[in-house]
A and B are shown apart, each in its own frame.
Chain A
Amino acid sequence: MSIQEQYRSRAKELLGEGSVKMVIGYGVGTTATRRRPIFITSPDETDRLVLDASCRTNLAGYLLREGLLADQKSIAVFLLPDGVRALNILAAESQLATAQIVVLGFEIKGEEVKPLEGTAAGDFSAIIAERKEQRKAQPSHEMAVKLEEMTPAERFAFWEKEFSRCIKCYACRAACPMCWCRRCVVDNNQPQWVNTSSHTLGNLEWNLVRAFHLAGRCVECGNCSEACPVNIPLHLLNGRMTDEVLTAFDHYPGADEQQEPVLASFRKDDPETFIL
C-alpha cells in the first residue's frame, strides 16, 4: 500500500470512528505539481487526500481558525516535522491544547515521502531532537554566508533592494503559523510603530519587526518565503534569528510543548559579548 493510501485509510478510520471531526490535509491543485490545503469532514471524502513530495505547506496555522477547536473535539492534521514543532509552540504559547490534535506525521527525503510514527505531538520528540542536532551542524544558507562576508554597507544595500520590493500584502504574516496575534503590531496605530506604507523604510521596519517577533519561534517551515509574491528571502532573516537563539541560548524552537518562549525567559549567565 502506498503511503498515500495508508494515510487515506488512517484518515477514513479517524473520521469513521468519530475520533476526529476534521482532517486537514493536502488535495490536488490547479496544476499537476500544485497542492492545496483541504478540509475533510466525512470518511467518504478521504480519497481527495493527496500525499506526495509536493506537500510542503505547513498546515499547523489552520488549527487556529477562530472557533475551530472551541468545541473541544479533535482534529487530525498532516504535518511535517517542522509542522509538529509549530504545533509544540502553539501549545507552549497556550493557543491550543495538543490533546485535541491528532498528528498525521510524515517527512520528505528528496522526492520520497516517509511516514512518521506517532499521533500525539509528544511522540515526535526523537525526530525533533535529531533535527536540532542537524540544524546545529547545518551549514548556513549559501546566501547567508555571502551576506556575512559582506561589509555592513553592502548588506544594507542588499536588504534595501530586497525590501524595496515589498508590497506590504502581509502574505508572510498570513501564511505563518506563528503569526496568530489577535492584533498585529503593524495594525496598531496608537502609536503606529511600524510605518504601514510600502516605502522601503516602512518595509524595512515591518520585516525587521516580524523577524524579531519570530526569534526563537520560527520553525523554518518556509511558508513565508513561499507565500511572498515578490520573492523576498525571508527565510534568511528567520534563519539568522534561529542561528542566534540556538548558539546563544541553545534554544531550538518548538522542541517540545513545555518550551518557554526564548524572549520571556533568561539565564543569569546568558552570553553578552556585545554589551559595553
Chain B
Amino acid sequence: MSEPFEPKIVAFVCTYCTYAGADLAGTSRLKYPPNVRIVRLPCTGRISPMFILKAFQKGADGVLVSGCHPGDCHFDHGNYHARRRWTAFNALLQFTGVPEERVKFSWISAAEGIKFAELIDSITEEIRTAGPFEQYHKLIAETGSAASV
C-alpha cells in the first residue's frame, strides 16, 4: 500500500502579524496539521509572486500567503501594496489554470492564533481532498527527463 497523500504547503508570511499569530497558536498549544512550512518575511510587501512559483517548483501542492490585516501593517502600507499584487497575480494564476485551492491569501493578525490554526487545518484538508498538484508536478518531472528526441 502506498503512503497516504500528505500535501506539501509553503506559507509566506510577514513577521509582525501572521508569523506572530503562528507563534501564538504555538504558545496556546493549538494543534494543526504538520504540512505547512513557513518562510518568514519582514512584511507582505516583501512577498514576491516569484516566491509562489518557486514553491511550486519545489513540489508544493499549495501555497499560503498571509500578513497583517489592512490598516495593521507594521510598515504602514506594505500590505496594501501586497493586496494589489495579489489581486493581479491571483487573476493570472487562475487564468492559467492554477486551481483556486492551490494558492490562498489571508490576513492573520498577531492575535489570531486560532485563525491561523484553523486556516492551516482547512487548507490542508482542502488540498488533501484535491490531491497532489499533478499538472505542475508533471512539468517539474519533464525538466529532469531527456528530451523526447
* A binding-site residues for B, Cβ under 8 Å: 147-148, 150, 152-160, 193-195, 197, 199-202, 204-205, 208-209, 211-212, 215-216, 236-237, 240-241, 243-245, 248-249, 262-268, 270-272, 274-276
Question: Contacts of A270 on B, CB cut-off 8 Å?
Answer: 80, 83-84, 87
Interchain CB contact (< 8 A) of B119 among A150, A160, A276: A276
Q: Given A158-B97, A275-B105, 18 other A-B contacts at CB below 8 A? A: A147-B95, A148-B95, A155-B96, A195-B143, A200-B142, A209-B49, A209-B50, A241-B92, A244-B92, A262-B84, A266-B77, A266-B81, A267-B80, A268-B71, A272-B70, A272-B83, A274-B86, A274-B87
Question: Contacts of A249 on B, CB cut-off 8 Å?
Answer: 84, 87
* Bound Cα distance from A209 to B53, whole angstroms: 9
Query: What residue in chain A is nearest B80 (Cβ atoms)?
Result: A266
If A204-B96, A237-B95, A266-B81 touch, does A244 touch B88 (CB 8 Å cutoff)?
A: yes
B115 to chain A, nearest CB (A): 9
Query: What residue in chain A is nearest B133 (Cβ atoms)?
Result: A156
Query: What residue in chain A is nearest B145 (Cβ atoms)?
Result: A199
* Bound Cα distance from A173 to B26, whole angstroms: 47
Question: Contacts of A158 on B, CB cut-off 8 Å?
Answer: 97
Interface centre among B70, B77, B93 (most CB of A within 10 A): B70
Taking a contact as CB atoms under 8 Å apart, the answer to whether A276 and B105 are in contact is yes
Taking a contact as CB atoms under 8 Å apart, the answer to whether A268 and B142 are in contact is no
Question: Contacts of A155 on B, CB cut-off 8 Å?
Answer: 95-97
Q: List 5 A-B contacts (CB under 8 A).
A: A208-B92, A208-B93, A240-B92, A272-B70, A272-B87
Taking a contact as CB atoms under 8 Å apart, the answer to whether B97 and A153 are in contact is yes
Question: Contacts of B92 on A, CB cut-off 8 Å?
Answer: 208, 211-212, 215, 237, 240-241, 244
Question: Contacts of B91 on A, CB cut-off 8 Å?
Answer: 240-241, 243-244
Interface centre among B92, B95, B104 (most CB of A within 10 A): B95
* Bound Cα distance from A90 to B29, whole angstroms: 53
If A275-B83, A276-B105 touch, does A152 touch B89 (CB 8 Å cutoff)?
A: no
Taking a contact as CB atoms under 8 Å apart, the answer to whether B71 and A274 are in contact is no
Question: Contacts of A248 on B, CB cut-off 8 Å?
Answer: 87
